[in-house]
Amino acid sequence: MSGVAMPRPSEETLERRAAIVAALRAIVPNEGVIADDLEMRAYESDGLTAYRQLPLVVVLPETVDQVSRILAYCHANDVKVVPRGAGTSLSGGALPLADGVLLSMMKFNRVLDIDYDNRTATVQPGVTNLAVTQAVQHRGFYYAPDPSSQIACSIGGNVAENSGGVHCLKYGLTTNNVLGIEMVLMTGEVVRFGGQHLDSGGYDMLALAVGSEGLLGVVTEVTVRILKAPETARALLIGFHSSEEAGACVAEVIGAGIIPAGMEMMDRPAILAAEDFVQAGYPRDAEALLIVELDGPAIEVDHLISDIEGRARNNGAFHIRISTSEEERAKFWAGRKAAFPAVGRISPDYYCMDGTIPRKSLPLVLRRMRELSEHYGLRVANVFHAGDGNLHPLILYDANKDGELQRAEDFGSDILRLCVEVGGCLTGEHGVGVEKRDLMPSMFDEDDLKQQQRVKCAFDDKHLLNPGKVFPVLHRCAELGRMHVHAGALPFPDIPRF
Amino acid sequence: MSDRLTPTTADEVRDCVAWAVSANQPLEVVGLGSKRGIGRPVQASRMLDLSGVSGIVAYEPEELVLTVRAGTSLAEVSDALSQAGQEFAFEPMDHSVLLGSEGGAGTVGGLLAANLAGPRRIKAGAARDHVLGIAAVSGRGEIFKAGGRVVKNVTGYDLARGLAGSWGTLAVSTEMTFKVLPAGETTTTVVVHGLDDETAVRAMAAALGSSADVSGAAHLPAETAGSAGPVAGPATLLRLEGFAPSVLARTQALTTLLEVFGEIDTLDADRSAALWRDIRDCRPFAGSTSDPVWRVSVAPTSGPPVLRDMIGRRPARGFYDWGGGLVWIATGPEDDAGAAELRRSIAAHGGGHATLVRGSDALRTSVPVFEPEPGPLAALSARLKAQFDPTGILNPGRMRAGL
């Protein structure tokens, strides 16, 4: 366990554990409540495995009514709740609390409705991202956001984290593809935001709920839009002698009005690791590799591929291959998709970062990252959603060596501060969670964070849902609600008024 | 309006709001005033005029982002974008056409406050889908920012998107960053003639469910067809945009797909542009009449039954955008302008919302302009309002009493 402090467990809650377990058993019978330490081990961490904590108790409801009663009970009795989907969060969003109920939504695993005429799918939150596509692909449809964990991650978790994926450059993030949700508030009240129609007739609660990291409510149903799969998809594999050349090529493609379905970049350490692992045919002498995917009608894809090929050559590409079959396209992607495990092979541990930067800052950020790498004595491999500026530096370390985890985390924090410094942000798609919580002040000032917490107060005024995540300092809602009015005269009286 | 405050910087906006709170002087927040006629009439003693907080702060076409002050006119921004071959892909509507209001297409701040979206909504989303970051002054008189200047960003709550469609009742935005996109190289519209409403929605569903990448799907029944662009009779319209060879190939594919529905022809780029601009701006209901106009969002297949319900009960006419999911309905001002019937029908057909976009002050005072919310959601909205604007100083009552 490293440096992030979680809220101190309430002794009073811990003492009431038996009563809380009994109350939950009255709501969810039989194996739906797990109170045994050994069985609870499966829930002690999520995808950010450096952080572990056994929860107070685990509950796995199966109906909306049960979720509502669990939350109402916890609200009435001041018990904290940590919602959890598939547990693939890379930022510790589902890290349990010692004095909190862990609410797993994985029994909500049914596809409820598919409506091809209206191009929507309505599913329960525990359905995996990929299962949505699988439910509609026999009719040639798919669900566009495709986080790399899509085999395992749940739609409910995607909503909580506003997940992206390689195709979000063209097709948007979760927030752009979710039409409606049903959500249970901490009080147990059930509300619906959106539906099969577009946009909100009132405040856009859906916008606030998506990406709220389980702090506003528990999602019990999700309606997403489904799209017809494009007629064709082809990819280019382009090797450059420098990341500057690759970056210039990306800027030129975008500047020419082309929005590829995906545009990924890898640096030399990532290329070599991937190539050693899956033999995707990547050029080992490239300093930077671009994978550019185009989709649409065949004639459009062909047109754009030849256009991009020309731009790549003009920017110094020395290695260009264009996929001529689905197998070849899949092979181009194989190395990129295996980049994380490939890096896992060359290092005992790695730490995956997730900042976003303006595309133009890429050469500067990569250069600074090399300097930081030397400073901390840790290697770094970069994979990068080049089209939208989302970086995934993988910091290589060995947790068994004294101090290396701390060094890796410090290195990571420096990278994220650098992202903010050049006009970017701390997290592009993995969420703040516990991991980046204490870096929030590098991006937001006190008033910014207070206004965000006031949204939290509108939904959960006792701070019972997933406390300790996202916000570095928890202000009580009563304190946040106070008005500090500066009494005053009319401002700038000299300005003309009509 | 007795008095107008005209700040030119975010700090001055903050001073205005802080003063209004301390002096208990509610503010009507306006840009160019193009949408003042939408919402419940605001009871405010002062007008907070943001048109002086204007100017493009940063625009880098190759980064696909634009940062602009809230009071900048949409016309100025559109000019800058089009010089670089880019646009707001969500195709914001110009309300002055329907409302006969001053202020043209309004400001960028108004565009977000109203969460504008045109025909391309079905493909590209609404203003909410393109805003990346915001700086604003809350009803507490505090400046805050949220989001950022990059496309991919999940750092903190999405307050920028959350302010979309809040009609200036939560905070006064002073600056915002948008994602912008390249404009399509060319446009063609495939027209299917002679379809009734249900068949038209089926034809649009077939088109939208194909890989033709349709960027506009509208249906003009016989009564409204002549009033928008160069089409007559019932006309079902499908827009294709993009690179020329691609548009040509998709036009052929779509024509083959839709032949079974009826007679087909196509409109060239210029005629397409004019037609979709008219649909975007609800031109069929513009002009001399001041009949109330409803904007209804439902699941696409619910569009025809909802419009039929309305026409069955009172004099009304309508047309469809968004593949049937957006229904524009003009009706008489009698009674409640059909509000209760319309909302019952929407609820009976799977849910959605109706907004009274045009109506007299009296009608907008007596009829809920925005869709009434069920109890727990209405309470949540009220709590959200209270968190941003505890004293109700910003556009009081514009969305409903107390909001």
B76 touches chain A (CB under 8 A): no
Amino acid at site A354: D
**Inter-chain touch A117–B209, beta carbons under 8 Å:** yes
Q: What is the pLDDT of residue B403?
A: 87
A365 shares its domain with A405: yes
A486 pLDDT higher than 70: no
Residues A17 and A64 placed together within one structural domain of the fold: yes
Of A164, A231, A257, the CB nearest to B211: A231
Share of chain B above pLDDT 70, in %: 98
For residue A337, the model assigns a pLDDT of 86
* One domain, residues B30 and B154: yes
One domain, residues B191 and B294: no
State the pLDDT at residue B232: 76
Please name the residues between 157 and 186 in chain B that touch chain A, using a CB distance below 8 Å.
157-159, 161-166, 170, 181-183, 185
Q: Note the pLDDT of residue B233.
A: 80
Q: Domain limits at B201?
A: 186-280
User: Is B370 in contact with A191 (Cβ distance < 8 A)?
Assistant: no
**Residue B98 — φ and ψ, nearest 5°?**
-80, -40
Per 3-state DSSP, chain A is made up of helix, strand and coil in percentages (nearest 5) of: 40, 20, 40
How distant is the Cα of B257 from the closest Cα of chain A, in angstroms? Answer: 14
pLDDT band at A5 (very low <50, low <70, confident <90, very high): confident
Q: What is the CATH number of the domain that holds B51?
A: 3.30.465.10
- Three-class DSSP category at A341: helix
Instruction: Count Cα neighbours of A131 within 13 Å in the Cβ-side half-sphere.
Output: 17
Which pTM value belongs to this model? 0.96
Q: Does A141 touch chain B (CB under 8 A)?
A: yes
The percentage of residues in chain A with a pLDDT greater than 90, rounded to a whole number, is: 87
Boundary of a domain, candidates A340, A360, A383: A340
Which residue, of A298, A316, A340, is where some domain finishes? A340
The whole-number pLDDT of residue A379 equals: 95
Among all residues of chain B, which has the CA nearest to that of A459? B380
* A489 in any annotated domain: no
Cα–Cα distance measured from residue B298 to residue A39, given in angstroms and rounded to the nearest whole number: 46
DSSP per-residue letters across B166-191: -TTSSEEEEEEEEE-EEPPSEEEEEE
Tokens representing A84?
A: 């959890």
**In a shared domain, residues A125 and A222:** yes
B209 to chain A: nearest residue by CA?
A228
Residue A488 with chain B: CB contacts under 8 Å: 15, 18-19, 22-23
Quote the minimal CA–CA distance from B320 to chain A in Å. 14
Q: Say whether pLDDT at A388 is over 50.
A: yes
* CATH code assigned at A288: 3.30.70.2190
pLDDT at B394: 98
Same domain, A199 and A241: no
Same domain, B265 and B193: yes
pLDDT in tens, A21-36: 999 999 999 899 999 9
Q: Does A192 touch chain B (CB under 8 A)?
A: yes
Residues A148 and A166 in one domain: yes
Structurally, how many domains does chain A consist of?
5
pLDDT-derived band of residue A492, with 50, 70 and 90 as boundaries? low
Domain check: are A223 and A249 in the same one? Answer: no
3-state class of B317 per DSSP? strand
A191, A185 Cβ separation under 8 angstroms: yes
**How many whole angstroms separate alpha carbon A308 and alpha carbon A303?**
9
Pairing label, strands A100-104, A349-352: unpaired
- Name B295's bridge partners: B328, B355
Dump pLDDT digits (tens) for A222-277: 999 999 999 999 999 999 999 889 999 998 998 888 999 999 999 999 999 999 99
Burial bucket for residue B262 (CB in 10 Å: 0-12, 13-18, 19+): middle
Same domain, A130 and A215: yes
Partner residue opposite B22 with nearest CB, options A390, A448, A486 = A486
The per-residue pLDDT for B72 is 98
> What distance in Å separates the CA atoms of residue A313 and residue A320, rounded to the nearest whole number?
8
Residue B397 corresponds to which tokens in the numbers above?
A: 């009552």
Measured between alpha carbons, how far is A363 from A489 in angstroms, rounded to an integer?
51
Report yes or no: A369 and A392 within 8 Å, Cβ to Cβ: no
How far, in Å, CA of A64 to CA of A137, rounded?
28
Are both A468 and A399 inside the same structural domain? no
Last residue of a domain, one of A104, A129, A155: A104
How high is the pLDDT of residue B224? 83
Domain that holds residue A390: 347-437
The answer to the question of residue A1 being in a domain is no
At B308, which CATH number? 3.30.70.1710
Note whether B54 and B150 are same-domain residues.
Answer: yes
Q: How far apart are CA A102 and CA A466, in angstroms?
A: 9
**Do B292 and B400 share a structural domain?**
no
Q: Nearest-CA residue of chain B relative to A207?
A: B162
Q: Which DSSP letter does residue A348 get? A: S
State how beta strands B171-179 and B65-69 pair. Answer: antiparallel
Q: CA separation (Å) from B278 to B117, B131, B189, B317?
A: 14, 25, 14, 17
Task: Write out residues 92-111 of B within 8 Å (CB-CB) of A.
Answer: none
Chain B environment of A227 (Cβ under 8 Å): none
* Residues in chain B where the model's pLDDT stays below 50: 1
Q: Based on the fold, state whether residues B307 and B276 are members of the same structural domain.
A: no
- A455: chain B residues, CB-CB within 8 Å: 157, 159, 162, 384, 387
Residues B177 and B190 placed together within one structural domain of the fold: no
Nearest to B239 by CA among B170, B172, B191, B169: B191
- Give chain A positions within 8 Å (CB) of B245: 299-300, 303
Q: Diameter of chain B by CA atoms?
A: 67
Which of B155, B175, B381 is most worth mutating to test chain A (most A CB atoms within 10 A of its CB)? Answer: B155
Q: CA A220, CA A217: separation in Å to the nearest integer? A: 9
CB spacing of A195 vs B170 below 8 angstroms: no
Same domain, B177 and B37: yes
The residues near A348 (Cβ < 8 Å, ≥ 6 apart) are A397, A398, A399, A400
Contact map slice: B 291-310 vs A, CB within 8 A? 297-302
The β-bridge relationship of strands A380-385 and B3-5 is: unpaired
Same domain, B12 and B51: yes
Contact between A58 and A43 (Cβ < 8 Å): yes
Task: Tell me how far apart the alpha carbons of residues A274 and A359 are, in angstroms, rounded to a whole number.
Answer: 24
Mean local confidence (pLDDT), A307-318? 97
Q: Do A119 and B138 touch (CB under 8 A)?
A: no
CA distance to partner chain A, nearest, from residue B321 (Å)? 12
Same domain flag for B52 and B135: yes
Q: Token digits for B59?
A: 């625009």
Clarify whether residues B132 and B256 are in a common domain: no
Q: Predicted confidence band at A1 (pLDDT cuts at 50, 70, 90)?
A: very low
Say yes or no: A26 and A62 in one domain.
yes
- Say which CATH number the domain at A161 has: 3.30.465.10
Q: Which residues of chain A have a CB within 8 Å of the CB of B202? A: 117
CATH of the domain at B204: 3.30.70.2190
Predicted confidence at residue A482, as pLDDT, reads 87
Do A245 and A327 belong to one domain? yes
Contact B153 A118 (CB under 8 A): no
Is A155 found in the same domain as A223?
Answer: yes
Mean pLDDT of all residues in chain B? 95
| Binary contact (A360, B63; C-beta < 8 A) | yes
Indicate the number of domains in chain B: 3
Give the strand order in the sheet containing B131-138.
B56-60, B65-69, B171-179, B131-138, B143-147
- Clarify whether residues A190 and A142 are in a common domain: yes
Predicted pLDDT at B322: 98
Chain A residue numbers with beta carbons less than 8 Å from the beta carbon of B5 are 490-491, 495, 497
Please write down the long-range contacts of B3-6, taking CB distance under 8 Å and 24 or more positions apart.
B3/A497, B3/B45, B3/B46, B3/B47, B4/A497, B4/A498, B4/B46, B4/B47, B4/B49, B5/A490, B5/A491, B5/A495, B5/A497, B5/B46, B5/B47, B5/B48, B5/B49, B6/A495, B6/A496, B6/A497, B6/A498, B6/B49, B6/B51, B6/B52
For residues B96 and B158, membership in a common domain is answered with yes
Contact call for A203 and B165, based on CB within 8 A: yes
Nearest beta carbon to residue B15 from set A120, A431, A492: A492
CB contact under 8 A, B376 and A189: yes
Looking up residue A360, the CATH number of its domain turns out to be 3.30.70.2740
The beta-carbon neighbor of A197 closest among B159, B249, B351 is: B351
Give per-residue pLDDT as tens, A30-75.
Answer: 899 999 999 999 999 999 988 999 999 999 999 999 999 999 999 9
